[in-house]
Structure 1
Amino acid sequence: MPIRQFQAQRMVAPRQFKPIENKPVVIEIGAGKGKHALLFAQQYPDTTLYAIERTREKFDAMQKQATLTPNSHFHPIHADALPWITHALYPKQVSTFYILYPNPEPHNSAQRWLNMPFFEFLLSRLVEGGQIILASNIVDYIAEAEQQLLQVWKLPYEKQTIASDSSRTHFEVKYLARGELCQQLVMTKPQHYTTRFDDFMPLNGVNP
């Protein structure tokens, strides 16, 4: 399906937004209660991770757990991902985006990640050789995303079956316990891959 251009300059900054430094980062979008983010922060304590969660209850749970094991490189963010990323991130700053079990948007396919104009902006923030990891328990969601990768975004990727004993998120634990097939697409940004946002600098909280 055709993708219109994302209107980055129209994004209003999240409340209490704070700019970040232009240093290498990992981003988790829709981090929930932070199970994966906290495990990642423990495994890679020197890697700067921003874990974004929109829902207040889930964010509060993640933040509470983060205070129990302090790590100056781990930053829980309470915000909608699109405006936060537009205002905060620099071109080619992110080594990995994690999007684990996003809302499949059954009634609005245009809101699925690879169908959104915003996905082009996301790619502009990714370093060359960087990866986007998208996981889902919905076979049709993965299949549609594959088609978009091939036809629209022209990105190399690997489709992987997630091991039955994996436990990165609460959703993953639940789905695997029910015997559901969980899969992920590991997308890689090639060298010299270009987007229309490669020179777009972060808005840094300045609203239009």
Structure 2
Amino acid sequence: MSIRQFQAQRMHAPRDFQSIENSPVCVEIGAGKGKHALLFSRQHPHLKLIAVERTREKFIAMQKQHQLEGLPNLKPLHADAIPWVVHALYPNQVQQFFILYPNPEPHNPAQRWLNMPFFEFLISRLHSNGTVTLASNIPEYIDEAEQQLQNIWKLPYEKQVIAQDSARTHFEIKYLERGELCQQLIIQKPENYLTRFDEFQPLQGKNMQTSIEKSDVE
């Protein structure tokens, strides 16, 4: 399976986009109601976490809980993760990405995270020796991701079975209570790992589409 190059410069900024400073950060994609984000932020007060959620109802629930707990190192964000990453994050900025129990996209496998051209861009934002944690209760999803890591992305990883008493997300609690096998891949970016986006700076809310189309005509 070959994967085309991601067209980062064509990505529109999320609504109400705000840029961030170029300092170390952790990012959770699809943070839901924020259970893992709040837990992680309490356990790692020295790390800053941006928890991105696209669904408005889930984001509001996370925001309310964050306001109650007042964790200064957590920033909930209502946005579509892909354009936000392109517009906000700098190369080698992210210490850890978390993608916990993503939609398995049973009818559209091209939209699974490691099948998307965007995954190369995501890795370009990751610091050397930084990690991506990908968790799923679907063995076939994990197996396919392993194959992509070996054959396409050439990235080292560790495969782990998630403990029965783990409770990082509402989905994780539900799946483990059912007796389902939950697994995760801890994917690491080696030093000197190269992508085609290593020099690509964040768009910071700019829409590059017009200028690109103009240059194509010229």
Normalising TM by the smaller chain, what interval? over 0.9
Distance, in Å, in 2 between the alignment partners of 1:140 and 1:101 is 13
1: CA distance, partners of 2:207 / 2:4? 22
| Contiguous gaps of at least 5 residues in structure 1 | none
Deviations 1:110-152 (A, max 9, x none): 0000000000000000011000000000000000000000000
Q: Which runs of 4+ in 1 moved over 4 A?
A: none
Aligned with 2:18: secondary structure?
A: coil
- Unmatched tracts of structure 2, length 5 or more: 209-218
Residues 1:133 and 2:133 aligned together: yes
* 1:46 shift after superposition: 2.4
The structure with the larger Rg is: 2
Separation in structure 1 between the aligned mates of residue 62 and residue 84 of structure 2, nearest angstrom: 18
Deviation string 1:131-180 (CA, Å, 9 cap, x unpaired) is 00000000000000000000000000010000000000000000000000
Match of 2:35 in 1: 35
Structure 1 residue 77 and structure 2 residue 74: aligned?
A: no
Letter in 1 for 2:45: P
The 3-state SS of whatever aligns with 2:195 is coil
Q: Look up the SS of the partner of 1:15 in the other structure.
A: coil
- 1:179 aligns with 179
Alignment partners' CA distance in 2, 1:179 and 1:14: 38
Corresponding residue for residue 68 of structure 2: 68
Structure 2 length-normalised TM = 0.95
Whole-angstrom distance in 1 between the partners of 2:116 and 2:36: 24
Aligned to 1:97: 97
Deviation at 1:207, TM superposition (A): 1.3
Q: Secondary structure at the match of 1:50?
A: strand
TM-score (norm 1): 0.99
Task: Name 2:207's counterpart in structure 1.
Answer: 207
SS at match of 2:141: helix
User: Is 1:47 equivalent to 2:47 in the alignment?
Assistant: yes
Q: What is the match of residue 25 of structure 1?
A: 25
1:182 and 1:59 map into 2 onto residues whose CA distance is 24
What is the deviation of 1:69?
Answer: 1.1
Alignment correspondent of 2:155: 155
Alpha-carbon distance, 1:94 to partner: 0.3
Report the alpha carbon displacement of residue 44 of structure 1 after superposing the two structures with TM: 1.1
Map of 1:15 onto structure 2: 15
- Tell me the distance in 2 between the aligned counterparts of 1:60 and 1:204: 24
- Structure 1 vs Structure 2 CA RMSD: 0.5
Count of residue correspondences:
208
- Percent identity over the alignment? 69
Q: State how far apart, in whole Å, the 2-side matches of 1:57 and 1:17 are.
A: 19
Deviations 1:178-204 (A, max 9, x none): 000000000000110000000000000
Q: Counterparts of 1:42 and 1:133 in 2: how far apart (Å)?
A: 18
d(CA) in 2 for partners of 1:36, 1:60 = 15
The letter for the 2-side match of 1:133 is: T
Question: How far did 1:45 drift?
Answer: 1.7
Aligned amino acid, residue 8 of structure 2: A
Q: Does residue 6 of structure 1 match 2:29?
A: no
